[in-house]
Structure 1
């Protein structure tokens, strides 16, 4: 594919600090960056990280990076060990997107980094029905939420990107990912589907973008090497799906019973999950293809799930 990148390539070997390296996405990013010839050091609380610190503790982070040099810093930290169901399940991640980003930008300055890449999400365009039009990166991002809970989440995504783009002396880039699936993620659904413990609410035409995890990691490499400073990029596959349709595809691919159908209103006690499932959102990939040279290997979840099944 012919690309039209307006920034010079940065694909020479870089020293990269990856906050969130021990997460599901972080492990894929580490592998993809290493295979591309970069040296990755993880930042986090776990023992597997080369720089050990809690991102919410500013002083601890700055002490931990003292004496280190990195070319690029990546913020891919969440506080999610499982899919968020209620609004309160997102509160710690909301804080990481605000205070944690500010702390990591200070660390980037302290280590002499030139580039800062942030994991963002397409849901920052707003929860609700966006219709059939594909949203592009110049559409409003982080609009004020329609209630205090939505505003809390949107403020986190809005602030994370603002801090990324406005950090003096840093080339800030943000990747707006769709909902993740794939190796290290989808397998967690299989026991619940096998026991028919995972209901599948009716989609009623609602769809959201998805992205397979290895595709997501390749996009991060592209952003490190080719992302234009001050720019955001939508990263998703070509086939938005409702959550019921996605669960049905997982069950079919792995030969599991179809999940029990339930009306969407029954998900309301799971307030955050209901908000996502009741949203309709499509995004354009044109900018990522044009400027990053990135395109999804798996154009839909069916191809990605088939590859996961074959690997298993």
Structure 2
């Protein structure tokens, strides 16, 4: 296998921390970035050459990529998660996702410009596929199905940003990896805390589907996309998209919490906003057939059922 020089933008993010050591373990030369100088030692320990970079500053991005001179750029830039108290629902999604939206749009533009300036031919970028499939037809969507733009809800601007990063990166000949709901150490801690406090209720009939993926499985799929110079859109999710009425009680049981409370849909809309009600009652999950076939991706946790039991800690 040819050694690849990989530039991981956002190496100290929740997925970047799992991606960097997997790339290093397979013999690749990794340069990883953080916006916080205090985290340079962490990247050193993970085996990467560490750089400080501001993903929203074109000059900072250009200089970092030029210094690394990579073969591939992996776009994993995400902001810090909001406090658990801010995540009781999606009512204020437009507020706490504002930085994420900028990283998906401006940050993507800066990375692609830097790639062009330095001759980097391949970019792999993060996207999202959890509950946001178009709300018509079946409960499980493939890459050929459109994403729901959630017009009129607080999720609309984020949905537009997701579409932007996919269109832009794929047009440049790269790959957009639609990660499902990430879980595992550091990824699901805030959600688990809400469940323990019984602040994450089951809404309405709980028929809305979600797709999940463990951090390590998502990182492994990203490594394969980097190595194979994958192109196009891929759903990086586990084998079992499931309704909220199944996964939420199971997750509660796995973390030793009481069963979730139930609230009517109209109450959820009033208290937590339309996006929360849609997710819990109308959300569509995703199929991973393409990723498994084209990337030869094998999952450590094929189902959230096993993953919640074994992979949260």
- Name the TM-score class by shorter chain: 0.7 to 0.9
- Which residue of structure 2 lines up, in the alignment, with residue 297 of structure 1? 300
3-state SS of the aligned residue for 2:32? Answer: strand
Contact 2:123/2:169 (<8 A) preserved: yes
Q: Is 1:107 equivalent to 2:114 in the alignment?
A: yes
Whole-angstrom distance in 2 between the partners of 1:51 and 1:243:
40
- What does 1:160-171 align with in structure 2 at a 5 Å threshold? 160-167=165-172, 171=173
Report the alpha carbon displacement of residue 125 of structure 1 after superposing the two structures with TM.
5.7
Report the alpha carbon displacement of residue 291 of structure 1 after superposing the two structures with TM.
0.8
Whole-angstrom distance in 2 between the partners of 1:107 and 1:236:
30
Q: Deviations over 1:143-197 (max 9, x none)?
A: 6553374442222111111211223xxx401111211112222333444433434
Contact 1:61/1:103 (<8 A) preserved: yes
Q: Deviations over 1:275-303 (max 9, x none)?
A: 43343313222211211001322222111
Aligned length: 294
Of residues 89-98 and 117-126 in structure 1, the stretch that sits farther from structure 2 once superposed is 117-126
Q: Is 1:140 equivalent to 2:111 in the alignment?
A: no
Report the alpha carbon displacement of residue 87 of structure 1 after superposing the two structures with TM.
2.8
Q: Provide the alpha-carbon RMSD of the alignment.
A: 2.5
- TM-score, with length taken from structure 1: 0.83
- Which residue of structure 2 lines up, in the alignment, with residue 281 of structure 1? 284
Whole-angstrom distance in 2 between the partners of 1:100 and 1:118:
11
- Which residue of structure 1 lines up, in the alignment, with residue 54 of structure 2? 54
Report the alpha carbon displacement of residue 73 of structure 1 after superposing the two structures with TM.
0.3
Change (3 A) 1:208 1:35: same
Contact 1:251/1:259 (<8 A) preserved: yes
Query: Which one of 65, 68, 93 corresponds to residue 100 of structure 2?
Result: 93
Q: Deviations over 1:27-46 (max 9, x none)?
A: 11112222222222222311
Whole-angstrom distance in 2 between the partners of 1:21 and 1:273:
30
Contact 2:23/2:223 (<8 A) preserved: yes
Contact 1:288/1:295 (<8 A) preserved: no
- What does 1:204-283 align with in structure 2 at a 5 Å threshold? 204-229=206-231, 231-268=232-269, 269-271=271-273, 272-283=275-286
Q: Is 1:118 equivalent to 2:125 in the alignment?
A: yes
3-state SS of the aligned residue for 2:124? Answer: strand
Change (3 A) 1:145 1:233: same
Contact 2:132/2:283 (<8 A) preserved: no
Whole-angstrom distance in 2 between the partners of 1:270 and 1:39:
45
Unmatched tracts of structure 2, length 5 or more: 41-49
Report the alpha carbon displacement of residue 274 of structure 1 after superposing the two structures with TM.
3.6
- TM-score, with length taken from structure 2: 0.83
Contact 1:126/1:145 (<8 A) preserved: no
Whole-angstrom distance in 1 between the partners of 2:203 and 2:143:
30
Query: Which one of 155, 162, 167 corresponds to residue 160 of structure 2?
Result: 155
